A and B are shown apart, each in its own frame.
Chain A
Amino acid sequence: MNNNINFEIIKTKTPSAPSFKINGITVHSVYDPVSEAQKWAAQVMDGINSEGMPDKIIIFGMGAGYHIKALADFLKKDNKEIKIEVVEPAQESIEFIKSNFDVSELLYNINIIVLDRIGENQYLYAPAISQKLELDKGSILLCELPSYKKIFPEEHSLIHKLHGINQFFTPSSFKVLVVQPMYGGSSTIGNYLYSALLNLGYDAKILDFSKFYDAYKYMGEFTCNEDHVNSLKQSLFNLMSEALLSSVFNEPPDLVIFMAQSPASERTLLKLKGMGIKTAYWFVEDFRTLTYWNTIVKNVDYFFTIQKDDFFAELKNIGADNYHYLPLACLPDFHKKINEINEEDRTKYGSDVSFAGAGYYNRKNVFAQLVDFNFKIWGGDWYVGLPLSLLIQDGGKRFTEEEAVKIYNYSKININLHSSMWHWDINPNGDFLNPRVYEILACGGFQLVDRRKYMEGVFEDGKDLVVFDTVDDLRKKIKYYLANEEERLAISTHGRETVVKNHTYERRVREIMNIILLGSYEQIKYKLETRKENISKILKETEGNKELHDLIMQFSDKKSLSVRDIVERIKSGKGRLSKSEAMILMLWAIKSKLVKIEGL
């Protein structure tokens, strides 16, 4: 946090080069800041000469600019043209520097990026910083003004990690397993998430448990004793957990993402943790309706929710600190606007007004008041009497996701009423947005949706979609927008643009990975760095160290090699350890200790 930041100019033994303090820490040497800067720049140059020319140098900390000037001079002298960018961690500090030091020439030649107050929530700011600094483009050398590391530790750590992630992380080398439930809405979301992972190039797999659903339903056939049925269902759940573990043992992923209701038993989660596999759980349910989250959250590394506020307070109450808000989204590849009209489909799926979803208590009450419209209701669980039953399509069968896309496309107005088991009609305190909000918009459908707390700042009423507060209000708006087609189309077009820009599952994957990579930086870095590398590359890299090189040569018959391979070979040997052998074992042991995945 950069709150209460204070500055103080200090004289140095070199009168022409003053220094200053930030929060009591001296930024430059109090003896000779210029010679200190030259030493620093010389070290950076050594790095460049040994590691090769980067495309860009990012310097963390502007200070009074002595070090930047020294580096620029060295680069000029060596005829090296490298772009320099400076990251200044606080708005207050850059303003102080500008008004107290002559940095105008520097500012003209270099690009300065100011990060302000990122300490409050690094996960929120991280993507924007990565983008601003273009950390994914070309080779970047990150160096820092040493004092800034102490003054701005959170900002420094974030930049260091973001830079590191771009160096060692590629989606294709990261294995993700999405674990589905047997049935329900979260399995659809799981499918979308999986598609998004594949679209982004992750080495993703999905575990489908839908085949167990018939068995799950069948349990009730054996006995009427509810306790026995529950016990049988628990046994089935345990079986699914074991099946999941078998799959993981067969091909260990780096990350397992559990969708809500999936078989995430405590034993499974602990086993995965023991194997050094990161676990995430996306609880795409209402925390007030399904309450099993309290047993899950303690055993997973990352717990994602579609609710915050009250839910976060509950999570905090039970001592959890691993939760993150992750709203739902759309999959633009799938939730598309249909441009070529199919008349048959239009006849079947088209109507003035439609609703696609299950028949919850409040929906039945609301929709009973809309029977005078050309209204089609799609989906199951609509056990109602006349006249609403006349509106139910396909005999109340569940619709497929493909059908949903057609319904959203061919309906003039798509109603989206969030379900409630406790409210007569509209839940006045509803918070999260259901998947339908995003999916209708992505299909270019016009949406009339009940007011939700988390709509604010995400979608604009009257611009992206239209919000209703009461049944009367809904009726009025249906009539109005049926009569005003142009306005309806303008809103649905804008809504589509908004959702595709900001609320896709690809974006959610990036958000998830951003949190996981920053939160488990060391463990993931360690894992990916210790994956097998090409043997000829390793031999080349170790040329300067004969003992180490000779050690690697023992593996020259292999194509690739990991540090772990060498560790195992050393341990299985006999006799005294050489210096290089001891060093490798030690580094491995320390790293294992640090990432707490001993024996991985």
Chain B
Amino acid sequence: MKIFVFQTRRIGDFFQSIPLIETLSQRHSKNGDEQNKIDILIDESIFGIRNIFNSKINFITYQSLLNPLGISFKRLNEFDKFLSDFTSGYNIAVNLNYDFANSLFLSFFKNKKKGFIVLDKSNKTSDSVSRSGAANYLFNIVKNRSLNRIHITDLYSIIGSEKPAEIKTSYEIISLQKKAKSSKKRLNGEPVRICISIGATHPKRIWQSENYAKLIDLLYLNLNCEIIIVGTAEESSAAEEIKSKLPGSVYIIDLTGKTNLNELIYLIKDFDLIIASDTGTLHIAQIFNVPSVSVYTGNANFYETGPHIENSYVIHSAIQCYPCMQHEPCRYNYACKNDINPEDVFNLVLMQIIKSKLSYSFKEQKIKLSDVKKRVIANAKKGNFSVTVCKHLGSIHFYPLYKRKISKNEFASEIFKFCWINVLSKNSVKIDKNNVLRYTDKYYKIDESIVNSLIKEISFIKDVFENAYKSFYEFHKTDKKDLQDINENDYVLYFEKFKDAVKSLGLNYAYFKLASDYFIDELNSSGSQKSFDDIILLLNNAIDILKIF
């Protein structure tokens, strides 16, 4: 089978799509597993990564596709033929990106098409790029960031394969393998190799250089370690700044601007630990199963793009405005960065080192996991930060390091997370209520009044949708034969009015805003039946789960 995947976003997103590509590449045949042939359209800037994949995965860029073609009218005839020939060879095409060019391209594929697609004309890109199911959900989490708890790796997988990501410690499609660790070297006291990735695409996501310097100093004092800073040439000045703030006795290896993407991947795969903000480097490290401690600030939402290896630690501010939704410079003087202290990141590194069996690198006395954890918890309670740990429950989840109170909106998002996965996977992933109860109870103190209030409210919202659907169905059934001639306007009007009502629900019940936006978009792309079915299933699921608390 031949599959075409569009993933033209940055390197981080590309690596977060690896579990999906791995899943798509495997076809179960009578003789065992056999690989499908996959062509991936990627951005020109990351074309070099093709060398680390096996031969079944082929990489394409728009440059390579269209270089021979100009855009003159004369060439349009040639392009027509090219498109037709090119797209007919694929059995499945999956577009993972909300991107106009990709979405138009997808519309030309002849067979099964998934993800973002353009079918209609419109001046507004958001109106013309049609999306349904998981793609619609992905589109709507941008404006409802704080309500989303589904990881992008899972979302990509659900878009392409209708099930959450299958996280592995190594992927068959990648030919580059990690070096085997030698226990002998450990006994010989070889230093642990710690990678620090300072950069991120958005300035709000970059932790301050003095913090990195302090952290490095702590690492150097307490661990037998080799510290390597990686990043692009643009990050060299930041690395210089960090180095200038380090005591003379501390030595680090600065590789910022000195590696190309392939060299960077080659290095990352064999690090013992990575400390990073929300960077492409962190996501590459996840694919090579490198343990991590990450610092999430600004608009980097760990629920969405956090490290996906089980037991990865994320430290983030507990400030109300995190994750940030503003595009402008911060009004609160980047409080979300200031809330995170190097000492706490250092403690998390110690915890990760113990968990990853790298304790041989401690310079002095034996450090106990429980002691460090207690320190982190005590500091978190005093300060304004939280620590979250990645867990796998069939999909990627994040839970606090210690049991804490949960607000009504948070709890609703936590419950909806399980419901959404069920809905978006078209019911192929069933909800394990015991798991939900066990984990939610373990990590959160839940006030009974919150549960009761949510049951009441969600039941009300469900009634609104069920009644609306019933009346629509009656309306539709009655006038069906004359719909096109006479009542088309009434039909449209009906939905416009109902959309307004749904918008109000989203405004009045904040936790429902993501679902209400999803419904409105779904109605435009997939029609009424699926939109109502999805939301009613979502709400029913939520009520069912809430009733077990």
B70 adjacent to A525 (CB under 8 Å): yes
Cross-chain pair count, CB within 8 angstroms: 93
Q: In whole Å, how far is A547's beta carbon from the nearest beta carbon of chain B?
A: 9
Complex: how many Å from CA A196 to CA B96?
A: 51
Residues of chain A in range 548-594 having any CB-CB distance to chain B below 8 Å: 548, 552, 563, 570-577, 579-594
Q: Give A597 to B299 CA distance when docked, in angstroms.
A: 26
Tell me if A544 is interfacial: C-beta within 8 Å of chain B.
Answer: yes
A586–B104 contact, CB under 8 A? Answer: yes
Across the interface, B121 reaches (CB within 8 A) one of A533, A545, A574, A592, namely: A574
Query: With A319-B233, A571-B121, A577-B121 given, is the CB distance from A586 to B73 under 8 Å?
Result: no
Identify B77's interface contact among A545, A571, A574, A589, CB under 8 A. Answer: A545
Q: A573-B121, A589-B100 in contact; A544/B63 too (CB < 8 A)?
A: no
Contact call A563/B73, Cβ cutoff below 8 A: yes
A542-B73, A545-B80 known; A589+B120 contact, CB < 8 A: no
Determine if B122 is an interface residue (Cβ-Cβ < 8 Å): yes
CA A585 – CA B77 in complex, angstroms? 14
Whether A526 sits at the interface, judged by CB under 8 Å, is yes
**Residues of chain A within 8 A of B107, CB atoms compared:** 577, 582
Q: B76 at interface (Cβ–Cβ under 8 A)?
A: yes
Q: Is there contact, CB below 8 Å, between B79 and A583?
A: yes
Within 8 Å by CB of A571, from B101, B123, B233, lies B123
Instruction: Digitize B48-88: 1 where CB-to-A-CB distance is under 8 Å, 0 elsewhere.
Output: 00000000000000110110011111101101100100000
Q: A585-B104, A594-B63 are in contact. Are A563 and B71 (CB under 8 A)?
A: yes
Residues from chain B with Cβ under 8 Å of A548 in the complex: 76-77, 80
Closest to A586 in B: B104
Cα-based distance from A588 to B123 in the complex (angstroms): 14
Q: Is B206 an interface residue (CB 8 A)?
A: no
A541 CB–B CB distance under 8 Å: yes
Chain B residues whose CB sits within 8 angstroms of the CB of A109 once the complex forms:
none
B120 touches A591 (CB 8 A): no
Contacts of A345 in B (CB 8 A): none
**Cβ-defined partner of A572 (8 Å) among B118, B120, B123:** B123
How many chain-B residues does the 8 Å CB contact rule pick out?
29
Interchain CB contact under 8 A, B77 and A587: no
B 408-439 binary contact with A (CB < 8 Å = 1; else 0): 00000000000000000000000000000000
The residue on B at minimum CB distance from A542 is B73
Residues of A within 8 A of B444 (CB): none
- Residues of A with C-beta under 8 A to B108: 579, 582-583, 586
Q: Which residue of A lies closest to B121 (CB)?
A: A573
Chain A residue numbers with a CB within 8 Å of B70 are 168, 525, 529
Q: How many Å lie between the Cα of A588 and that of B120 in the bound state?
A: 16
> Does A538 sit within 8 A of B, measured CB to CB?
yes
Which residues of chain B from 86 to 132 have any CB-CB distance to chain A below 8 Å in the complex? 100-101, 104-105, 107-108, 118-123, 128
Range for the number of chain A residues in contact with chain B? 35 or more
CB distance from B17 to the nearest CB of A (A): 19
B80 and A586: CB pair below 8 A? no
A530 at interface by CB-CB < 8 Å? yes
CB distance from B41 to the nearest CB of A (A): 10
Q: B182 CB to closest chain A CB, in angstroms?
A: 35
Q: Is the CB of B62 within 8 A of A584?
A: no
Given A529-B70, A563-B73: A575 in contact with B120 (beta carbons within 8 A): yes
Chain B's nearest CB lies how many Å from the CB of A366? 44
Inter-chain contacts of A593 with B (CB < 8 A): 62, 101
Once the chains bind, are B62 and A594 in contact (CB under 8 Å)?
yes
A583 to B108 CA separation, bound complex (whole angstroms) = 9
Q: Which residues of A are found within 8 Å of B74, using beta-carbon distances?
A: 541
B121-A542 in contact (CB<8A): no
Cα distance A546–B101 in the bound complex, in angstroms: 24
Contacts of B119 in A (CB 8 A): 576-577
Distance from B445 Cβ to chain A, minimum over Cβ atoms (Å): 49
- Contact call B118/A594, Cβ cutoff below 8 A: no
Q: A589, B80: Cβ atoms under 8 Å?
A: no
Complex contact A587–B100 (CB within 8 A)? no
Tell me the interface secondary structure of chain A in the complex.
helix
Interface centre among B63, B72, B83 (most CB of A within 10 A): B72
Q: Determine the chain A residues whose CB is within 8 A of the CB of B69 once the complex forms.
A: 587
Question: Is the CB–CB distance between B121 and A538 below 8 Å?
Answer: no
- On whether the beta carbons of B121 and A587 are closer than 8 Å, the reply is no
On whether the beta carbons of A541 and B121 are closer than 8 Å, the reply is no
**B122 cross-chain contacts in A, Cβ below 8 A:** 571, 574
Q: Considering the chains assembled together, what is the distance between the CA atoms of A574 and B66 in angstroms?
A: 28
Q: How far is the CA of A572 from the CA of B123 in the complex (A)?
A: 5
A587 to B108, CA, bound (A): 12
Chain A residue nearest to B8 in the complex (CB): A593
Within 8 Å CB of B123, what residues of A? 571-572
Q: Which residues of B contact A580 (CB under 8 A)?
A: 76, 80
Scoring B65, B66, B70, B77 by chain A CB atoms within 10 A of each residue's CB, the highest score goes to: B70
Can you name the residue of chain A whose Cβ is closest to the Cβ of B61? Answer: A594
Q: Are B101 and A586 in contact (CB under 8 A)?
A: yes
Q: Which residues of B contact A586 (CB under 8 A)?
A: 101, 104-105, 108
Residues of A within 8 Å of B65, CB to CB, are 590
Which B residues are CB-close (under 8 A) to A584?
76
Neighbouring B residues of A592 by C-beta, 8 Å = 101
Q: Which chain B residue shows the least CB distance to A563?
A: B71
A591 adjacent to B71 (CB under 8 Å): yes
Bound form: Cα–Cα A319–B107 in Å: 42
Q: Can you list, as one digit per residue, whether each of B117-157 has a CB less than 8 Å from chain A (1) or not (0)?
A: 01111110000100000000000000000000000000000
Residues of B within 8 A of A574 (CB): 120-122
- Per-position binary interface string of chain B over residues 223-256, scored 1 when its CB falls under 8 Å from any chain A CB and 0 otherwise: 0000000000100000000000000000000000
Question: A583 — which chain B residues lie within 8 A by C-beta?
Answer: 76, 79-80, 83, 108
Give every chain B residue within 8 A of A544 (Cβ-Cβ): 77
Query: In whole angstroms, what is the CA distance A541 to B80 when docked?
Result: 14
Most chain A CB within a 10 A radius of its CB, from B63, B101, B108, B121: B121
Report yes or no: A594 in contact with B104, Cβ–Cβ below 8 A.
Answer: no
Question: CB-nearest residue of chain B relative to A544?
Answer: B77
In the complex the two chains form, what is the Cα distance from A369 to B140 in whole Å?
A: 81
CA distance A146 to B146 in the complex (A): 53
* Nearest neighbor of B234 in chain A, beta-carbon distance: A319
Do residues A588 and B73 form an inter-chain contact, with CB atoms below 8 A? no
Whole-angstrom CA separation of A580 from B118 in the bound complex = 13
Q: A583-B83, A587-B79 are in contact. Are A577 and B118 (CB under 8 A)?
A: yes
Give the contacting residue for A589; candidates B72, B104, B121, B233; CB below 8 A: B104
Task: Report the separation of the CA atoms of residues A542 and B62 in the bound assembly, to the nearest whole angstrom.
Answer: 24
Residues of chain A within 8 A (CB-CB) of B118 are 577, 582, 585
A570-B121, A571-B123 known; A529 and B105 CB under 8 Å?
no
Q: CB distance B73 to A538 under 8 Å?
A: yes
Which of the listed residues A526, A538, A545, A585 has the most CB atoms from chain B within 10 Å of its own CB? A585
In the complex, how many angstroms separate the beta carbon of B449 from the nearest chain A beta carbon? 49
Closest to A566 in B: B73
For residue A368, give the distance in angstroms from its CB to the closest CB of chain B.
48
Task: Check B104 against A582 for contact (C-beta < 8 Å).
Answer: yes
B454: shortest Cβ distance to chain A, in Å?
41
Closest chain A residue, CB of each to CB of B68: A160
**Residues of B contacting A577 in the complex (Cβ-Cβ under 8 angstroms):** 107, 118-121
Smallest beta-carbon distance A521→chain B, Å: 10
Q: A571-B122, A582-B107 are in contact. Are A587 and B76 (CB under 8 A)?
A: yes
Is the Cβ of A542 less than 8 Å from the Cβ of B76? yes
Can you give 12 A-B contacts (C-beta < 8 A)? A525-B70, A541-B73, A542-B77, A545-B80, A552-B73, A571-B123, A572-B121, A572-B123, A585-B100, A587-B69, A587-B76, A591-B71
Top 4 A-B pairs ranked by shortest CB distance? A589-B101, A586-B104, A573-B121, A538-B73
